Structure 1
Amino acid sequence: MDMQMILSKIEEQFEKQTSLITDNVTKKLSATIDEKLNPLLEENQELKKEISSLKSKLQNLERDIRRNNLIMHGVKETENADVIDLVLKTLNIACEKAGIENWDKWEISDARRLGKATPNKIRPILISVTLAWRKTQMLKNKKSLPQNVYISEDYSKDVLNKRKELKIQQQEEIKQGKQAYIRYDKLIIKEKPSEKRKRSLSKSPKTPHSAESTYAAQTKICKTKKLEQMNRARSNSFSTPTANKQ
């Protein structure tokens, strides 16, 4: 019995020492790891910020590059035909229909088909214009383009995917009676202005106590008094007895 008790105490003491050693080693390892990891974590955070900033700058740069671009769809491909001439012809058809000034060749800096040529498929045309306001003018009059031909903004794939997602949300907002439109890759939502009823100006009834009626009455009285005074003066002049001749 004594030996068993001694052994049990030894085992108990051994377990305590093992636990203590484990805790100390764990704490030391944790402190060492934290000491070495913290600079790495801070550096990682700084790198993430720099990457985010660079990504934002690249997106802005790409947006600036595409700012004066248009994508024209539906213009049939013709062999040995200059793409710029095709674009000019198509745009000017819309200009004549819309009653705006025709395009000159210098207003288009570049025009080229996108993608590889494949049978029975019309490739879109990327158009780079020299004047931003002409691009805006054409977008406003795009309904005047020939049948089956349309133009759109030049967006990146990321922006196009984002706009597709926003269109679903836009439709939901419109169903709820709100004004919603997509500007680049942002959805703008506004409350519809409430229709204000036009208040009809009701004419106040003319009462004898109103200022206008009082002024008119006073004017009438003054005129009447003047007429009476004039009549009295005339009657007095006629009724004055003349001196008797002696």
Structure 2
Amino acid sequence: MEEIMKILHNIQQDLTQQKRYMKDMEENIKEAINKNIDDKFNQIEIKTNQLEQKIEAQQKTIDFIDKQMRKRNIIFFGVPELEKNYEDLLKVILEVINEKMNVICQNWEIETVARLGKNKGKIRPVVVTMTTTSRKLQILKNKKALENTSMYIKEDYTPAVLQKRKELQGEL
């Protein structure tokens, strides 16, 4: 009987030892999995930060290019839509600048003219790109000449600048 008790005691010790061993194995596996997950998460976090920095740099470049493209633009509002083609629109804009605004402007000083948006029955604005910024500024200085007409002009700002101006105007 004592021998059976001894065997049972040994079996019980073996079971306890195996339970401890299993528990240790379980902890080791959990630690390994958690370490692996942490490593992968850190790698993803580093990559995400790099991509965010890259996107931010690219956005700054895009904003700069957009600003440079608009640098010589003026937007004319209220110009009647009577033109049939580009040349007609160019003539109308030159007429407004030369006759109504009293600024002498030649054909070659205008790089492009184009209506903005789709024709939906409303008078669409006209974006005019000048060949030089100084000519643009000269025209903008004389914008008061259009006060008693249905037309007015503004600078061509980027959407971000327009949003910021809108927010600041709301504070006034």
Which runs of 5 or more structure 2 residues have no equivalent in the other structure? Answer: 1-15
Counterpart residue identity of residue 109, structure 1 = E
Alpha-carbon separation, structure 2, partners of 1:67 and 1:129: 9
Counterpart residue identity of residue 108, structure 2 = W
Aligned residues: 158
Q: Which has the larger radius of gyration?
A: 1
Q: Which residue of 1 aligns with 2:109?
A: 107
Counterpart residue identity of residue 85, structure 1 = K
Give TM-score, length-normalised by structure 2: 0.78
Alpha-carbon separation, structure 1, partners of 2:56 and 2:27: 41
Q: How far apart are 1:157 and its partner, in Å?
A: 2.6
Which runs of 5 or more structure 1 residues have no equivalent in the other structure? Answer: 1-11, 172-246
Question: Alpha carbon RMSD of aligned pairs, Å?
Answer: 2.8
Choose between structure 1 and 2 for higher RCO, CA contacts under 8 A separated by at least 6 residues.
Answer: 2
Q: Which residue of 1 aligns with 2:36?
A: 32
Q: How far apart are 1:52 and its partner, in Å?
A: 0.8
Q: Which residue of 2 aligns with 1:138?
A: 139
Q: Which residue of 2 aligns with 1:129?
A: 130
Q: Which residue of 2 aligns with 1:189?
A: none
Q: Work out which of the residue numbers 59, 66, 70 in structure 2 matches 1:66.
A: 70
Fraction of identical pairs, as percent: 33
Between 107-116 and 73-82, report the one with greater CA deviation: 73-82
Higher percent of residues as helix: 2
Equivalent pair of 1:114/1:124 in contact (CA under 8 Å): yes
Alpha-carbon separation, structure 1, partners of 2:72 and 2:165: 19
Quickly say closer, same or farther: Cα 1:13–1:159, change in 2 above 3 A. Answer: farther
Q: Work out which of the residue numbers 47, 53, 56 in structure 2 matches 1:49.
A: 53
Equivalent pair of 2:109/2:131 in contact (CA under 8 Å): yes
Alpha-carbon separation, structure 2, partners of 1:77 and 1:108: 19
